[in-house]
């Protein structure tokens, strides 16, 4: 987004991802859930599965782009945050879970195709 601040662009990407996933039948459980281990962008329900969605936006494909920005350390932080979420929301603790990634790239990403990678890494 030309002239948009990084947080504004990230928020717009998250809005677009949420709208897309809801259109695919997922239901929102939590958004921007924070804990001492990090943040979960979107926590959604897909049938009986709790889905932890990491939304990644990158303006350029340099350094591998949006999908490549989720390295092992980031995956570990997300897994720790997801475990804390499940502990604090016992209703969802016994449900199967997965980690998905929604990646958007490019200037003015609104309306541009996004990539939805289901089961991006293990729970």
Q: Which helix (H) or strand (E) holds 80?
A: helix 72-88
Q: pLDDT tens-digit profile of 24-37?
A: 999 999 999 999 88
Query: Within a domain: residue 109?
Result: yes
Can you give the pLDDT at residue 90? Answer: 92
> Nearest-CA neighbor of 11 among 119, 120, 109, 121?
109
Parent domain of 55: 6-121
Give CA angle at 11 (20, 83), nearest 5°. 80
| Number of domains present in the structure of the chain | 1
Cα 51 to Cα 89: distance, rounded to the nearest angstrom: 14
Answer yes or no: is pLDDT of 76 > 50. Answer: yes
* % of the chain surpassing 70 pLDDT: 80
Answer yes or no: is pLDDT of 61 > 80. Answer: no
pLDDT-derived band at 54 (thresholds 50, 70, 90) equals very high
Residue 51 sits in a domain of what CATH number? 3.40.1350.10
Contacts of 21 (CB under 8 A, 6+ apart): 42, 44, 53, 102, 116
Please state the rounded mean pLDDT for residues 38-53: 96
């Amino acid at each position: 987004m030309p002239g948009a601040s990084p947080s504004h662009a990230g928020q717009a990407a998250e809005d677009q991802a949420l709208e897309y996933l809801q259109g695919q039948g997922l239901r929102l459980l939590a958004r921007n859930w924070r804990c001492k281990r990090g943040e979960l962008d979107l926590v959604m329900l897909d049938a009986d599965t709790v889905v932890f969605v990491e939304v990644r936006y990158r303006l350029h494909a340099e350094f591998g782009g949006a999908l490549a920005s989720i390295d092992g350390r980031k995956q570990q932080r997300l897994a720790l945050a997801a475990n804390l979420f499940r502990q604090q929301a016992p209703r969802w603790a016994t449900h199967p879970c997965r980690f998905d990634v929604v990646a958007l790239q490019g200037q003015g990403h609104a309306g541009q195709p996004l990539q939805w990678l289901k089961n991006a890494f293990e729970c």
